[in-house]
Structures are given as C-alpha cells and as structure tokens.
Structure 1
Amino acid sequence: MKYKYGVGISHLEFWVKDLEESLAFYGALFPLIGWYALTSTSFSCGIHELYFKEMPVQRHDTVGVRHICFHAPSRAVVDKVGEWLRGIRADIIRGPQAMPHYTEQYYTVDFRDPNGFVLEVAYMPDIEL
C-alpha cells in the first residue's frame, strides 16, 4: 500500500488552557527552529503537523509522553532559542548546554511552554535514526 506522506506520525494535538497565549508562544518559537504556520492554530516542519485546541480542563500530572524534542539544524539555533526563552522569562529546565554523555555533539535546551509541557530543542548531528 502506498502512503501519500510515508509512514510516521501525522500530527500532534495539544490541549491548552489559553489558546491565544499558546499561539503567541509557539508562533515565536517555531520560526526560530524552521517550522511555519499552516493555519491560525497549526504549524508544520513540512513533514509533521502540530495543532492546538483550547480545552476547559485543569492540568493533571499523568503518565505518558514526558517531552517533545525538536531537532535544531545547528548549535546556533539552540543558542537563539535559549536567548529567546531568557528574554520572555520562560521556565528553562536546563541549557543551552552540551550533553556529551548522550553523544559528543549533543547540544540542548529544555524548557516548559505556557501550559507546563516540557519541550526540548537539540542539535544532534551525530545521532542516526
């Protein structure tokens, strides 16, 4: 069977407490790492789609995905994201910093979005999938 886009993840749906706040945050973050707006509530890197829905639910800790890591094309992009995060006073968990215990060139910044989701932007040229 042929697939139009190949196998893999088609999209991710984020439920957020404040759609406008989340769209402002991701609308600034995504261009830094090469993503673009598809619609007023969705973004893409050309392969995957991520979209947002405002839901009237309280945040609960749960098991599941711990974080989403976005690939950066260079260390400079990771540094640019780190600078932007500091500028908006985001909750930075770690970085930008090297993580040589992962691989020699792994360079990352981990942070929380306005909803508390953990995100990572990492440069990892020596990792093969």
Structure 2
Amino acid sequence: MKYKYGVGINHLEFWVKDLEESLAFYRELFPLIGWYELNKTSFSCGLHEVYFKQMPVQLHDSLGVRHIYFHAPSREVVDRVGAWLQSINADIIRGPQPMLQYTPEYYTVDFRDPNGFVLEVAFTPDIKL
C-alpha cells in the first residue's frame, strides 16, 4: 500500500504553559520558514503538522525531545529568522552562523521559544540522511 505522505512523522504535539503566547510566537516564526496555519492551534509545511495544547505547569510526567530542527530552503531564510528573533529579543542560543564541523554548507540559528523549547532553523543542502 502506498501512503499519500510516505513514512515518517505525521505530527508533533507541544504542551505549552500559555497557549496564546505560544501561538503568537509561532504565527510569526512559521511563515518565515514556509509553514502555514491549519487552524487556530496547528501549523503545517504540507507534510507534517505541529499543534499546541495548554497544559498545567506542574504536569511533568515525561522527558522530551532535546530540540527540533526546521529545515530552511536557504541561508537567507536563516538570516531572516535570526533578524526576527533579535527584533523580539528572543533567547538566541547561537547564530545565525555556519557549523563547519558538521558540513561545509551547514548554516543555523538555535533559540528558545516562549516555553523554553530549543528550536533550530538551518540550511543544510549537503547533509546526508
């Protein structure tokens, strides 16, 4: 049986402390990297979906992903994300900058969203999966 989207991840669910604050952040970030709004609480790139649910802060019953990498189609997109992050005084971990220790073309910006989730937007045309 052939699947419409192939194998892989269908969606990611983010538990957040303040739904409106998170949605405001992602409504600005996602269009910069080619994602669009599906409905009030979810976004897609056409193959994958990310959606958000507000949860009580005291609910910590599992460990999560260390960070999520969003592929950028160019270095210019990474630079635009970096400029936007600087304009909102976001918590930038590193970049935009090259990461030559990985591959010659790896170019990234790493940062935290309003919940402290670590995100990466990177251009990596020469990366091998």
Which TM-score bucket, shorter chain as reference? over 0.9
Q: Which residue of 2 aligns with 1:45?
A: 45
RMSD over aligned CA atoms reads 1.5
> Matches of 1:2 and 1:33 in 2, distance apart?
28
TM-score (norm 1): 0.94
Matching residue's letter, 2:103: T
Q: Figure out how many residues of one structure are paired with residues of the other and give that number.
A: 129
SS of the counterpart of 2:97?
Answer: strand
Whole-Å separation in 2 of the counterparts to 1:99 and 1:58: 36
SS at match of 1:115: coil
Write the distance in 2 (CA, Å) between the matches of 1:121 and 1:20. 22
Consecutive unaligned residues of structure 2, counting only runs of 5 or more, are: none
Taking a change above 3 Å as real, the CA distance of residues 128 and 12 of structure 1, as seen in their structure-2 partners, is same
CA distance in 2, matches of 1:106, 1:2: 33
Structure 1 unpaired stretches of 5+: none
What corresponds to 2:91 in structure 1?
A: 91
Identity of aligned residues (%): 79
Deviation at 1:65, TM superposition (A): 1.3
Following the alignment from structure 2 to structure 1, what is the Cα–Cα distance between the partners of residues 28 and 20?
12
